[in-house]
Structure 1
Amino acid sequence: MRAIVQDYHLVQTIPPGEYRFAGNSVGLKEIVGHIFPNPARNVSLLDIGFGLGDLGRIVKTNPALQHWQVDGIDGFWDACCNTELFSQGHYRNIWHGLAQDLPMESLQAYDLICLFDVIEHLEPAPAKQLLTDLLNSLGPESKLVLSTPLWFWPQAHQNSDDLEEHKIGIPGQSLLLLSPRMYHIHAQFLVGTFVFGKESLEHIDNFVPTTDRNFNMTAGLQHLHTLGVKADGVLYIAP
């Protein structure tokens, strides 16, 4: 793991080159503003797979949230060369590396860990292990935000090191049975965004991703219908 930005200052020399910045998501990033009842509280947020930096921008341009501290980590080197993004001052610290590289004590320091459209890039066993580790790192008031397609959305590499390939699909049941505090399912793209607390660790065995590429959007939508869940773009909050 390599530090790129520390305390809002670039600490790594970025060599000249043509960089391709990637990693956007249709997950509901604005959900982070609905998680904590007291908007004035200080929140430290870790953006895993920050990509284009949309989450940092959404937080730091929201007057109610701009006092939050946002850190980011991304395994795609080009994303870590986005000096224009870093100059905007949205991210306090940036690292080049994988979430799996972060020690437990570092994860435990965050009030909010966000994983927008990242977990589908892992094989089933590493995906479950990462989710387990992140949930295990949460304190009593900390939360994990996870978004992912609720079907096997085919996506391949654009170049050899971009980490863009999708390796699993995740049926909605796998995440709904983790007892999310709130969730939102994008009506057009069938991408779910879920907020979990540490108690979801008790249900981790319900997380069963699939490598079946025939689990397409139609199958994912039918699966949700059998659960009585709507992909309607509404934010649902657990009582």
Structure 2
Amino acid sequence: MIEHLNKEAAIDLVRYILTNMNDNARFFISTPLWFYPQDTIQEGDLEKHLIGIPASSMMAMLPLMYQVNNPLIGGFIYNKASLDYIDMFSPVTNPAFSLEQGHKIARAVSCDCTPGKITHINYD
């Protein structure tokens, strides 16, 4: 759902949730890791995608675990500690941010994009 917000609203929302969640809570974000083209179906329906979020941005917030499925749609689970990395959350507003570019960025940051595979990350 975050891809339906403008860049500033998306950053503010993620910051707000991480700031206000309980210390033992988890926060799940599912989003395309590229600018997935989707327009409105009818006026005012909020279906249009306004941003794309590169894997580098999602991984930089240090998820506890994640899964990526086709066509490069990621699901990431964060905890309160991710608030320390919120400035790394950087959505892209350029609709030319393609699926191919999204895959290249995911590979560059070692984001495992094997469909159906849940990746747990140990930061110790």
Aligned residue for 2:45, secondary structure, equals coil
Q: Which amino acid aligns with 1:218?
A: E
For the residues of structure 1 that align with 2:68 and 2:18, how far apart are their CA atoms?
Answer: 21
Aligned residue for 1:175, secondary structure, equals helix
1:78 — aligned with what?
A: none
1:29-108 alignment runs, 5 A limit: none
1:153 — aligned with what?
A: 36
Instruction: Give yes or no for contact 2:66–2:76 (8 Å, CA) kept in 1.
Output: yes
Whether 1:172 and 2:50 are equivalent positions in the alignment is no
Residues 196-230 of structure 1 deviation map (CA, whole Å, 9 limit, x = unaligned): 10110010000011111111101100111111222
Aligned residue for 2:77, secondary structure, equals strand
1:222 — aligned with what?
A: 104
For the residues of structure 2 that align with 1:175 and 1:127, how far apart are their CA atoms?
Answer: 13
Q: Which amino acid aligns with 1:203?
A: Y
Whether 1:133 and 2:11 are equivalent positions in the alignment is no
Higher relative contact order by CA 8 Å / sep ≥ 6: 1 or 2?
2
Whether 1:196 and 2:43 are equivalent positions in the alignment is no
Q: Which amino acid aligns with 1:190?
A: L
* Superposed CA RMSD: 0.9
How far off is 1:193 after superposition? 0.2
Aligned residue for 1:183, secondary structure, equals strand
Whether 1:213 and 2:119 are equivalent positions in the alignment is no
The count of corresponding residues between Structure 1 and Structure 2 is: 121
Percent identity between the two aligned chains? 33
For the residues of structure 2 that align with 1:194 and 1:165, how far apart are their CA atoms?
Answer: 22
For the residues of structure 1 that align with 2:45 and 2:110, how far apart are their CA atoms?
Answer: 37
For the residues of structure 2 that align with 1:230 and 1:178, how far apart are their CA atoms?
Answer: 16
Q: What is the TM-score with the length of structure 2 in the denominator?
A: 0.94
How far off is 1:161 after superposition? 2.4
Aligned residue for 2:58, secondary structure, equals helix
Unaligned runs of 5+ in 1: 1-117
Residues 30-75 of structure 1 deviation map (CA, whole Å, 9 limit, x = unaligned): xxxxxxxxxxxxxxxxxxxxxxxxxxxxxxxxxxxxxxxxxxxxxx
1:120 — aligned with what?
A: 3
Instruction: Give yes or no for contact 2:59–2:111 (8 Å, CA) kept in 1.
Output: no
Q: Please identify the structure whose Cα radius of gyration is greater.
A: 1
Q: Which amino acid aligns with 2:97?
A: F
